[in-house]
Amino acid sequence: MADKIRLGLIGASVTGTWSSRSHLPAVRASSDVELTAVCTTRADSAEAARQAYGARLAFDDYRKMIASPEIDAVAVVVRVPSHYAPTRAALEAGKHVYCEWPLGRTTAEAAELAELAAAKGLVTAVGLQARVNPAVMLMKEQVEAGFVGEVLAVHVSLMREGVLTRPSNRTWQRDAALGANTLTIANGHTIDAMRFVTGDFRALSAVVATQAKQWLDTGTNTWLDVTSPDNILISGRLANGAVASVHIGAIPFAGSGYRMEIYGRDGTLVAIGRDSPQLGEVTLHGARGNNELAPIPVPARLHVAAAATPPGEAVNVGQMYALFARAIRDGKSRAPDFATAVELHRLVDAVKQASDDARQVTFA
């Protein structure tokens, strides 16, 4: 294998996309991964991305890129409904894969991909970047080290503004059947960070609601009907016996941001961010006994992204690429993988089921 993992990235738009804001800057800065090839659906946009980000190869057909012997691994950074086909093709070609979350449009798609990857012995990563947010990683370490003692209660909230309008290129997300909405994405990332730190649910009840039933398409100035949920309320008990509550909301204005609060017999930990822990910087605060909450610095060892990674949304993606590359080299999984994704898909399904049936769902 070359000095760097040779990556082919599917979905390499130059501007205005998650790929251009996070993946492409992170890979360009990486000391572990080389952006060998980029792929879009058009030759001209693929060539523009190649020139903009310094890739050696450009493709307008992901099948041709995946077949290249110059590619060790593939990143799938396209819309959720299009995750399945290129991910499966890459696995069948024997390539390691980093796919964005959700892994599939449905749990069945995700489970099929995870089973194929395991059968072929390939390294996988799924874009649950909140798990590699340095402050969230430290929070997990502190809980495991006994900072709060026995965990008694957990509360998580993420309130993000912007539910009433969408640009034309994002109005497709109004259809719940396409798998990219507040339940799967904002809730998925946020609840996964919680279960990473405190453990999973033993039982839960939920309300999944669509409060804003129309969006204004700002490109066409027309109102569109919406089936995607925008508010998710979850309450239940964790496997460790703690009670937990979660509220993830896409609300019209002045969102309060992100908080994960852990209350234990001996202390308290609180993680705070302006946005989802997947996307941006989070600070950690703690208190033992009757003391006031105070900042807890994140040690340098938890910052594994390349030093040249630009600030903002690229940082946690850079963390993922560093861990993905290490796993390819030594076979030791350190980042959330396809099996992690299947677990989360099933948890999201359970939240929806609990809401639809107005009953508590329990887990083995």
Q: Mean pLDDT for each 10-residue chunk of the chain (364 residues)? A: 88 91 96 97 96 96 97 97 97 98 97 98 98 98 98 98 91 93 97 98 98 96 97 98 98 96 98 96 96 97 96 97 96 92 98 98 93
Ranges of CATH 3.40.50.720 domains, the chain? 5-128+317-336
Q: How many CB atoms lie within 10 A of CB 18?
A: 18
β strands within the chain, DSSP E: 5-10, 33-39, 57-59, 73-76, 96-99, 124-126, 151-161, 165-166, 201-209, 214-217, 222-225, 231-238, 243-251, 257-264, 267-273, 282-288, 294-295, 361-362
CB 74, CB 86: distance < 8 Å: yes
Please tell me the pTM assigned to this model: 0.95
At residue 1, the pLDDT reads 52
Q: Does residue 102 have a cis peptide bond before it, meaning omega lies within 30 degrees of 0?
A: yes
Tokens of 87: 């991910």
Contact 360, 204 (CB under 8 A): yes
Residue 272 pLDDT: 98
Q: What are the DSSP calls for 327-348, one per residue?
A: HHHH----S--HHHHHHHHHHH
CB atoms within 10 A of CB 250: 24
Are the CB atoms for 60 and 43 separated by under 8 Å? yes
CA distance 123 to 143: 28
pLDDT at 202: 98
Query: What is the H or E stretch that residue 187 is in?
Result: helix 186-198
Q: What fold does the segment set 5-128+317-336 form as a domain?
A: Rossmann fold (3.40.50)
CA 244 – CA 246 distance, rounded (Å): 7
- How do strand 222-225 and strand 214-217 relate by DSSP bridges? antiparallel
What is the architecture, at CATH level 2, of domain 130-303+344-362? 2-Layer Sandwich (3.30)
